[in-house]
Structure 1
Amino acid sequence: MMIFNNQKNNKRFRRIVVKLKRKCVNSLLKLGEHRSPTFLCHHEAEKLHQKYPIRDHYKYDIDSKKERAAKRFCNLSRFFHLTGVKNVVEVGAGDGRLAYLFAQNGFISHIIDIEDWRDDDVKRAKNISFNRIDPMEKYGRPANTTDLVISYNSFEHVADPTLALQEMIRITRPGGYIHLEFGPLYNSPWGLHAYRTYHAPYPQFLLDKPVLQQFVVKNGIYDLGAYRQNFQYINKWALDDYRRLVSALENRVRVIKFRPKIMTDELWVIFRYLKCFWGYNLSFDELVTASLTITLQVK
């Protein structure tokens, strides 16, 4: 009982702390809502860059990809129980390992993506179909035929999330599910997806284009397991944009989960370089919401 009460007290204390931080940050941001932001000079940016080690938590070796797919499959199995699920579509599947795991477990598995990024053994699998997304965000799948649509860490890269979600709803049968997990969101600490180029958080606000380009020249752009010419496309949608999107579709879906995951470890950067965050109509929740989990049931 004591442990249980302590856990409850700790949760209550954390909620109070977050509430106080929210009030403080929002008050400071409001001071500069009509002012133009400033940027760090290269010298100051370099000092901040040196304070942070390279973030390398998202790995692309085959073992890491298989482990990631297995965890996602287990989580989906626990949440949905996969009862009555036969047809599964993964949108933005990347290496395709999760769709491959579904196929290995007897599901009819489909992959939809803008490019064919699948691992070679996934490409060779005969029980997985692949559809390329066309420029109008059409998925090339029949309507009302999918039991479960899933997407991981791709929705923040979609040019038109409204069209994309409408298309997911179109291909999902009534009673079927759509499950999205994605991030980091653009306004969050690592939202530029540039953490191997510039190690410190919030480069999208701290650095202007010339200074960021100096770090690109020095460190390159490494993402998706390879060096690239450009950063991945980010749609720059804010947390409130996703809230409005889901709310606008409530006549077509039942919202089972809309869960932001917050990251407050880097708030000190906002306090230290506050003027870099002025003028963007930002808020505490926008700046600390690292990722989103959205689960919908089609009506």
Structure 2
Amino acid sequence: MTTQTLKKMKHFLIEKNSKNPIFLERFPDINYEGKRVIDLGCGYGALTVDMAQRGASQVIGVDIEPNRIEDAREIVRSEYPEVADRISFVCCNLRDLPDEGFDLIISKASFEHILSLDVLLEDMRDKLKVGGKIVTGFGPLYNSPWGDHRRLQHKLPWTHVIFGEQHYIDRLNKYRKEKVKSIYDLGLNGYSLKEYISMFNSVEGMMVTDFRTNVSDKLSMKLFKVISHFPFMREYFTYNIYCVLERVR
């Protein structure tokens, strides 16, 4: 393997062996056996493989990065031939996927990066059959201590909220050849907790059946959970969201 290939495989294995088990265990009631599934924002396909190994009859990994799709295909062909016949990878926007009638759409660690998430949620609904579910977990939320994913390069928690995005964008641009105008250019949507809740509850034909925040066994998250019970603190002490939406009509 080349050095670049080894790096990609290392990333795949970190996701599959370390991060995916945590994600999957946080949705213990989701059954993959015999289900048709979309892995939205599949990256190198680690979660795609996991769902096939859990018995899904078909898993389609969807991503807008063509290089990652090609890498995912190669990893499955070479390392997981026993499930390769139930997996496919497509480089496209979800609405352009011709298939419909899926049981599940899984999206791990991606919703905080998606612009126009309200539009995507409608596209996701349209790909599900009635009774189908969107299952997602993501964070950190933008208004949490490091909600900029360290991309604004501030030194202290919440300072991107206190001083504002533009302050740090101006600082970044002093050292960048390719200038950025906003956090959108850094791959973040900047949505607040309130905006996520509003979007999840506004998708016609969908119902929120599971909504949890600050999901983690870490002591810091337990502390965040306590503090976030105070309404005026909730926005700034909510780190992540784990949510299930079901298509009801």
Report the secondary structure of 1:181's partner residue: strand
Paired residues of 2:154 and 2:168 also in contact (CA < 8 A):
no
Tell me whether 1:72 sits opposite 2:7 in the alignment: no
Q: Which amino acid aligns with 1:140?
A: L
Change in CA separation of 1:296 and 1:90 when aligned onto 2, cut-off 3 Å = same
Residue-pair matches, total = 209
Say which of 212, 223, 230 aligns to 1:259.
212
The equivalent residue for 1:239 is 193
Paired residues of 1:198 and 1:215 also in contact (CA < 8 A):
no
Paired residues of 1:73 and 1:101 also in contact (CA < 8 A):
no
TM-score when scaled to structure 2? 0.70
Report the secondary structure of 1:288's partner residue: coil
Paired residues of 1:73 and 1:98 also in contact (CA < 8 A):
no
Query: What is the root-mean-square deviation in Å for CA atoms of aligned residues?
Result: 3.2
Compute the displacement of 1:292 (Å): 0.9
Once the two structures are superposed, residues 52-104 of structure 1 have per-residue CA deviations (whole angstroms, 9 ceiling, x without a partner) of xxxxxxxx74442222223434544x221335x42110111222200022234
Say which of 111, 115, 120 aligns to 1:155.
111
Q: Which amino acid aligns with 2:131?
A: G
The equivalent residue for 1:285 is 234
The equivalent residue for 2:149 is 193
Q: Which amino acid aligns with 2:132?
A: G
Once the two structures are superposed, residues 212-237 of structure 1 have per-residue CA deviations (whole angstroms, 9 ceiling, x without a partner) of 6657888xxxxxxxxxxx97321111
Paired residues of 2:38 and 2:60 also in contact (CA < 8 A):
yes
Separation of aligned partners in 1, 2:95 and 2:190:
21
Q: Which amino acid aligns with 1:118?
A: R
- Larger Rg belongs to: 1
Question: 1:43-82 residue pairs with structure 2 within 5 A?
Answer: 61-67=11-17, 68-76=19-27, 78-82=28-32
Change in CA separation of 1:121 and 1:132 when aligned onto 2, cut-off 3 Å = closer
Compute the displacement of 1:129 (Å): 2.1
Say which of 174, 183, 189 aligns to 2:130.
174
TM-score when scaled to structure 1? 0.59
Report the secondary structure of 2:21's partner residue: helix
Gaps of 5+ in 2: 1-9, 77-83, 176-183, 216-220, 225-230
Say which of 88, 109, 116 aligns to 1:129.
88
Report the secondary structure of 2:241's partner residue: strand
The equivalent residue for 1:296 is 245
Separation of aligned partners in 2, 1:296 and 1:211:
35
Change in CA separation of 1:197 and 1:231 when aligned onto 2, cut-off 3 Å = farther
Paired residues of 1:88 and 1:148 also in contact (CA < 8 A):
yes
Tell me whether 1:140 sits opposite 2:97 in the alignment: yes
The equivalent residue for 1:40 is none
Separation of aligned partners in 1, 2:144 and 2:128:
31
Compute the displacement of 1:238 (Å): 1.2
